[in-house]
Chain A
Amino acid sequence: MSRVVLVPGTLALLPEYAGIEDPVAALRATCLEAVGWLGAEVSVLADEQGARVAAHLLASTPRTGDEPSYLVVGNGSACRTEKAPGYLDERATGFDADLARALTAPDPAALAAIDPETSAELLAATDGIRSLGDVLTPDHVATVDYDDDPYGVQYWVVRWTARLP
């Protein structure tokens, strides 16, 4: 029974960018708990920066078990507010809502079909999320541990496990 986790690619999770106070403390705790739920061996689905985030989270969590495990690094748009990194884009909310539906259903075909160009325009990190189309099946069940946009960027922490037959 495979285990799959999605975490956002915020670089604030990396130790080289640690401040005295952690601006993503709640998110970090949720990420660590979810990643700790994965098995000992984990396949990472992420772009280059996301892979660094994944490596740090994996190195920070003791894990056991031989369930096939996947750690996906990605997030929704970064254009949700005027203060967001990409400024307000009217398409952002709808884009993220569609993405949320595809993640939680889950809808592997819809995830595989995410438009890379729109993602890039909305500064959404979806390379790893598109790969979920090859990993998730409609038999997987999603648990959403985190769903917020504290800096104008849509973050999710989601765990999936296959439904028992």
Chain B
Amino acid sequence: MTLRLGRHEFADDATLMMAIVNRTPDSFYDRGATWDEGQAHERVAAVVAEGAEIVDIGGIKAAPGAEIGPAEEKARVVDFVAQVRASYPELVISVDTWRAEVGRAVCEAGADVLNDAWGGADPELVDVAAEFGAGLVCTHTGGVRPRTRPFRIEYDDVVAAAITDTVAYAERAVAAGVARESVVIDPAHDFGKNTFHSLEITRRLGEMVETGWPVLVSLSNKDFVGETLDLPVGERLTGTLAATAVCAMAGARIYRVHEVAESRQVVDMVWSIAGRRPPRRAMRGLQ
């Protein structure tokens, strides 16, 4: 099925790089590197140059911290979305928010996708996506509230739970009027999950792909990589790319990343190994 993200369409075998652009002073990886608006624009220009098809703009870090209300969240992202929209008509703009109020404002400013990292915490977000013809990312969080860390969460079967919850969310979105070809599911590594859960989700990602919904994975530099390798933030790229390769082999379609070029190489390589993409330019042995 063709994937339609707002005003953009992609073939059903296309893989997409979603570059993270934080409008926060305190996100875990970049620690406010793009809090300054000029630097945020530079980040967008850089990831576009690296081939990112999507930018995912977020105004609130995922981890607990100072309360950021809807007004402040909008102040951080809405005008920025409008500026990016004007500068990059071909770029898919996603906004990482769980709030319908914020979703409405960014869609009016030109956003194509609402990335609901908190699994439907605001039930009206689907209505906003439907109203604006936006794409929607339906994540699994195990039912935790936004901006909380997992604490002793357990599952009978984490993959089954992720599939049940994300597919139910996806169907709810479609029932609310979101186009079926604009809905993406995301198991949400680390969200409502311990490291063992995230590793199992990675290992069994193919089961999510088999649902037929396009799967997004957000692996980049996360704690499950850090704990697995006992490495701090800043030293997790290799582990991230290993997890990326496994998810690509399973058929994930969208990769939410900090490092665009490296992730693109890994996904292209694995996609070709899987026989879903020809080599870029092959002449060896064929001369």
Question: Interface on A for B, CB 8 Å cutoff?
Answer: 10-12, 17-21, 23-24, 78, 84-85, 151-153
B residues 254-287 touching A (CB-CB < 8 Å): 277-283, 285-287
Which residues of the other chain, A, contact B286 by a CB distance below 8 angstroms? Answer: 10-12, 17
**Are A23 and B278 in contact, with the CB atoms below 8 A?**
no
Alpha-carbon distance A160/B137, docked complex (angstroms): 62
14 contacts between A and B (CB under 8 A): A10-B286, A10-B287, A11-B286, A12-B282, A12-B286, A12-B287, A19-B280, A19-B281, A20-B279, A20-B281, A23-B282, A23-B283, A151-B283, A151-B287
Distance in angstroms between the alpha carbons of A85 and B283 in the assembled complex: 11
How far, in whole Å, are A84 and B287 apart by their CA atoms in the complex?
9
Give residues in B with beta carbon < 8 Å to A. Answer: 277-283, 285-287
Assembled-state Cα–Cα distance A17/B286 (Å): 8
Residues of A within 8 A of B282 (CB): 12, 17, 19, 23
Inter-chain CA distance A4–B138, complex, in Å, is 62
Q: How far is the CA of A85 from the CA of B277 in the complex (A)?
A: 26
Cβ-closest 5 pairs across A and B:
A151-B287, A11-B286, A12-B286, A19-B282, A21-B281
Q: Which residues of chain A are within 8 angstroms of B277 by Cβ–Cβ distance?
A: 20
Closest to B280 in A: A20
Evaluate contact between A85 and B287: CB separation under 8 angstroms.
yes
Q: Choose one: B278, B280, B283; the contact of A12 (CB below 8 Å).
A: B283
Residue in A closest to B278 when the chains form the complex, CB atoms? A19
Chain A: minimal CB distance from B240 (Å)? 25
Contacts of B283 in A (CB 8 A): 12, 23-24, 151
A77 CB, min distance to chain B CBs, angstroms: 11
- In the complex, are the beta carbons of B281 and A78 less than 8 A apart? no
> How far does the Cβ of B134 sit from chain A's closest Cβ, in whole Å?
30
Q: Does A19 lie within 8 Å of B287, measured CB to CB?
A: no
* Neighbour of B280 across the interface among A11, A21, A24, CB < 8 A: A21
Contact of B287 among A18, A20, A21, A153 (CB under 8 A): A153
Residues of B contacting A78 in the complex (Cβ-Cβ under 8 angstroms):
287
Given contacts A11-B285, A19-B281, A20-B278, 13 further A-B contacts (CB under 8 A): A11-B286, A12-B286, A17-B282, A17-B286, A18-B278, A20-B277, A21-B280, A23-B282, A78-B287, A85-B285, A85-B287, A152-B287, A153-B287
Measured CB to CB, the closest approach of chain A to B248, in angstroms, equals: 17
Nearest CB in chain B: distance from A18 CB, A: 6
Shortest Cβ distance from B279 into A: residue: A19
Q: What residue in chain B is nearest A18 (Cβ atoms)?
A: B278
List of A residues within 8 angstroms of B285 by Cβ = 11, 85
Q: How far is the CB of B269 from chain A (nearest CB, A)?
A: 13
Which of chain A's residues have a CB closer than 8 A to the CB of B287? 10, 12, 78, 84-85, 151-153
Tell me the nearest residue of chain B to A149, going by C-beta.
Answer: B287
Cα distance, A159 to B277, chains bound together (Å): 36
CA distance A21 to B285 in the complex (A): 16
User: Within the assembled complex, what's the spacing in Å between the Cα atoms of A165 and B250?
Assistant: 67
